[in-house]
Amino acid sequence: MERHRIVSFLHRVQEEHGGAIPVERFMQEALYHPEYGYYTANIRDVGGRGDFSTSATLGTELGAAIARWIEACSKELGWNGWNRVFNRIPLIEIGAGNGSLARTILRNLNPRLRWRVDYMIHETSPTLRRIQRKRLRWRGVRWIASLAEALFQTKGEALIFSNELVDAFPCRVFERG
């Protein structure tokens, strides 16, 4: 029955596009469809016990490097002093997986900066959001509905990063003839 529903859905999408589903649309549905999408409905976890591993779940080097980058950017932008309007350091992680990267970043930040971080996570997967909420119980970590919402709240000022985002981008190859 489930297979029939998926096939029927794909036929409808195919008809919408006149016969061939563009790669971008297929990837969008395969990864993010509310019922059939891998990230939204089928993923179990990321890491040693999950569906796949990333550099953030295999070690702390990436998180430590991003923490140093955050400290350097905060200093360069004047966010490490007390003269900032909101006195918060706005960070936005897109697609935070199981929260390993966020946890490592927060653990590696200078303690004087860590307590001032406004760590926003944009995650489309309900399963991964639940895992992140369990793993990330730090003051200053919150989940956002969209990047636009977060940028509005920060008046367009934030450090934005992601570990896995580009892996889920559909792409096209253009050739010059």
58-117 pLDDT tens trace: 789 999 999 999 999 999 988 866 555 557 899 999 988 889 999 999 999 999 888 889
Mean pLDDT of the chain: 85
More confident residue, 127 or 166: 127
Is 90 exceeded by the pLDDT of residue 144? yes
Q: What is the pTM of this model?
A: 0.79
Residue 156: pLDDT band with limits 50, 70, 90: very high
Q: Are 56 and 128 in contact (CB under 8 A)?
A: no
Beta-bridge partner residues of 90: 118
pLDDT at residue 168, rounded to an integer: 63
In this prediction, residues 103-132 reach a mean pLDDT of: 91
Is 80 exceeded by the pLDDT of residue 20? yes
- Single-letter amino acid, residue 94: I
- Rounded CA-CA distance 163/105 in Å is 12
Q: Are 102 and 119 in contact (CB under 8 A)?
A: yes
pLDDT at residue 142, rounded to an integer: 95
In this prediction, residues 139-143 reach a mean pLDDT of: 88
Residue at token pair 């926003």: 120
In this prediction, residues 24-49 reach a mean pLDDT of: 80
List, for residues 46-57, the tens digit of each pLDDT value: 777 777 777 787
Is 70 exceeded by the pLDDT of residue 171? no
Give the H/E segment covering residue 75. Answer: helix 61-76
DSSP 165: G
In this prediction, residues 23-43 reach a mean pLDDT of: 82
pLDDT at residue 4, rounded to an integer: 83
Architecture per CATH, 60-167: 3-Layer(aba) Sandwich (3.40)
